Chains A and B, each alone.
Chain A
């Protein structure tokens, strides 16, 4: 099999091309003290750098990025775990704006049908600037429930539900004279979103899905989808009559943990595989296939909508945590995208999932320069989008969008090797190297 030029492959100490040299050791830095630290510390050839030392790899948090990215020089090979302006995707108000704009563009270019594929986001209005638009929509649909979410906070903080306009009077942008304005306390930016009142329930409980998407670059768009994930359950039974009970409506583990009902031993998570089996036994495999391909659509469209806005620096990659809600018609809705999905494990199973996820992320980032660049699958990641759809089959991609195109995603279907040896055990090292060994 001939190798294309300017691609690197695992030689024996030879470096190919100026881009990626094989390094003797990779200096990493991170401030997170959880699963990530375990994975980084156990990776062969990776050395931790403390304090002000130079690093080749930094899994940073977003605040550091905000303060330092612009005046940090990075060599070619250096990698960092966020894009400079990731908030275009992850802050709710920006995401909505970008998606709405993308939808309009799609409608212009490809027609209404194509644009309708962007309708996975419940109607959302930025507050306070879109207050009046919101009121218009509110009046068109009396009696429905809305949810208010602060744009920048996470873990479910600050979220509440409402049905009456007077509950959100603080965000009312009225015409006040400038004399009054200095007395006003500025309100935090929120988004008001239509609350999905018919969520799919299992055992009477509401849940949402957490799925992981790794983006290696935006221009061109290269995104990988991780095969596993989990469903997070609310601890209490779903009912619309108790909209004050935020524990019912928010399935974020962080919120659930403070609920009086929460028992840490329970975990309240289902691995995606279990969820998929449950759905299949209830609705049949075809319905489940449709659901998962609808989810693929969500990932791709959401990334496309910010493609032109995000600064695509080659040093950057990002692991996103997508939160998806399924309604009773088996339609998936995008709740939000997280730039810093939690890497702390809530249970044994969760630890294994996150360990494998992070290991595979590092495989794809490929600091060791071992990949050929032609892989469609690395560990549990499937290449979902490579400047175009990626087909499961070999051969030229089918761009017509119909026919035998089967997307190269396997969100928990098959081949997920959950049985991998524990980090640090004797078997793990040999397993890891067998993973990275390339087929010629």
Chain B
């Protein structure tokens, strides 16, 4: 039922037209390059691929003609143009006018509400990412926290794990804790299922495979730290695009899987197939959702399961148009509202110089900060996403970053200069930033 996917009609419509655009782009690439959406591999090719399964990164196919179907900034333009037809904004500006790019009236939390929601991040509660720094004796917090974590794992208590991880996960326990929270088991059926997907990859070649290759080569392979995991990324993403079980998440995703028809049977429902089989068309930077996970999981089928679950629980919300509080639209609005309300001078200044803050922070949020933060910090952030079952923390962190660099930002006079100030986030420590922004700033 449509309303389960997305209750607001105008949002559904916007998502629908966005999808049409993406599909058109994909189809035209297909026609231009005369490459079929899918084809069966000849036996020789299958054998070769099987041999190279663990080192697909060494392949250098010619990808110069492929372009990503879309990039985050294309998506941002769509969001900027979202309007609620029932909402009369009025032409006159008032203090209520939202000065940001997002112009839809969704309810977002303010700082008092966020403080309540993220109460475990408060100043008086121990945190990993703050209270495990070397100047703090481990007896004060860290040792006990690790002990509790081990107990939670021993009892395999998923709900307790989710509560526990709000204060961060010890490095040695993280892989297991995430698996517990995401309900990933090591059942033999799962391994078999993964092997089945692998077989699908070997037997059939999809156009999206080239898109995946291109994305990995452009993003993760160029990253100073994730380049090592290049091969794992192919093993996960190629299987992912063939996994029809992922179609299940479209029941609560405002998006719908693109439909394609067997040649010559256009419009006939019996001959409709979803393309790609999992219904998810990768965009520029998609592989960065997987890269940090390679740090934790080394066994391909486990890595795959974790990624799939993370995707259908969280990541899909970052690139579909919906009114959900963790959806990207709400996150953008939350970010802009926080900035406008609590750092009005900065917000106004940036707007005046043509550097709308969302234009800079959008790409951070769409990627859940992957590739922007140092890996250990990113994992601490994703701990909290799992713990609070919400992506709102991404918007809060984005605002906190702006607050942190406010002094430098006030001095810039162009969008390019603002981008430069915020280009490098690799030295940031996320937990202190979040704590200061939420709990230690006078509002």
Interface residue from A267, A281, A283, A414 paired with B134 (Cβ < 8 Å): A414
Q: Number of A-B pairs whose CB atoms are under 8 Å? A: 61
Contact indicator A204/B55 (Cβ below 8 Å): yes
A285 CB contacts on chain B under 8 angstroms: 171-172
A139 in the interface (beta carbon within 8 A): no
Contact indicator B172/A281 (Cβ below 8 Å): yes
Interface residues of A in 189-246 (CB under 8 A from B): 202-205, 233, 236-237
A31 in the interface (beta carbon within 8 A): no
Number of interface residues of A (CB under 8 A): 31
A265 to B224, CA, bound (A): 8
B295 in the interface (beta carbon within 8 A): yes
A326 to B227, CA, bound (A): 20
A284 in the interface (beta carbon within 8 A): yes
Contact indicator A205/B228 (Cβ below 8 Å): yes
Contact indicator A278/B221 (Cβ below 8 Å): no
Contact indicator A237/B55 (Cβ below 8 Å): yes
B225 in the interface (beta carbon within 8 A): yes
Contact indicator A268/B171 (Cβ below 8 Å): no
B200 in the interface (beta carbon within 8 A): no
B230 in the interface (beta carbon within 8 A): yes
Contact mask for chain B residues 294-324; partner A; CB cutoff 8 A; 1 contact, 0 none: 1110100000000000000000000000000
B81 in the interface (beta carbon within 8 A): no
B94 in the interface (beta carbon within 8 A): no
A270 CB contacts on chain B under 8 angstroms: 224-225, 228
Contact indicator B227/A277 (Cβ below 8 Å): no
Contact indicator B221/A266 (Cβ below 8 Å): yes
Given A204-B55, A418-B427, A280:B172 Cβ within 8 A = yes
A56 to B174, CA, bound (A): 53
A282 to B295, CA, bound (A): 8
A347 in the interface (beta carbon within 8 A): yes
B296 CB contacts on chain A under 8 angstroms: 281
Interface residue from A261, A281, A414 paired with B171 (Cβ < 8 Å): A281
A373 in the interface (beta carbon within 8 A): no
B174 CB contacts on chain A under 8 angstroms: 281
Contact indicator B231/A203 (Cβ below 8 Å): yes
Contact indicator A268/B427 (Cβ below 8 Å): no
Interface residue from A205, A266, A278, A280 paired with B222 (Cβ < 8 Å): A266
A415 in the interface (beta carbon within 8 A): yes
B375 in the interface (beta carbon within 8 A): yes
Q: Which residue of A lies closest to B426 (CB)?
A: A349
Q: Which residue of A lies closest to B52 (CB)?
A: A237
Interface residue from B55, B175, B229 paired with A281 (Cβ < 8 Å): B175
A205 to B375, CA, bound (A): 19
A284 to B229, CA, bound (A): 20
Q: Which residue of B lies closest to A205 (CB)?
A: B228
Given A203-B229, A280-B172, A419-B427, A261:B224 Cβ within 8 A = no
B45 in the interface (beta carbon within 8 A): no
B230 CB contacts on chain A under 8 angstroms: 203
A267 to B223, CA, bound (A): 9
Contact mask for chain B residues 137-154; partner A; CB cutoff 8 A; 1 contact, 0 none: 000000000000000000
Contact indicator A261/B227 (Cβ below 8 Å): no
B2 in the interface (beta carbon within 8 A): no
B295 CB contacts on chain A under 8 angstroms: 277-278, 281
Contact indicator B134/A415 (Cβ below 8 Å): yes
B427 CB contacts on chain A under 8 angstroms: 418-419
Contact mask for chain A residues 136-172; partner B; CB cutoff 8 A; 1 contact, 0 none: 0000000000000000000000000000000000000
A280 CB contacts on chain B under 8 angstroms: 171-172
The 10 lowest CB-CB distance pairs between A and B, nearest first, are A414-B134, A203-B228, A237-B55, A284-B172, A281-B171, A203-B229, A280-B171, A266-B227, A277-B376, A202-B228
Q: What are 6 A-B residue pairs whose CB atoms fall within 8 Å in the complex?
A: A203-B294, A204-B54, A270-B225, A277-B295, A281-B174, A281-B175
- 19 further A-B contacts with Cβ under 8 Å, apart from A203-B230, A278-B295, are A203-B229, A203-B231, A203-B232, A203-B294, A204-B55, A204-B231, A233-B228, A237-B231, A263-B221, A265-B222, A267-B224, A269-B224, A277-B171, A280-B171, A281-B171, A283-B172, A285-B171, A349-B224, A418-B427
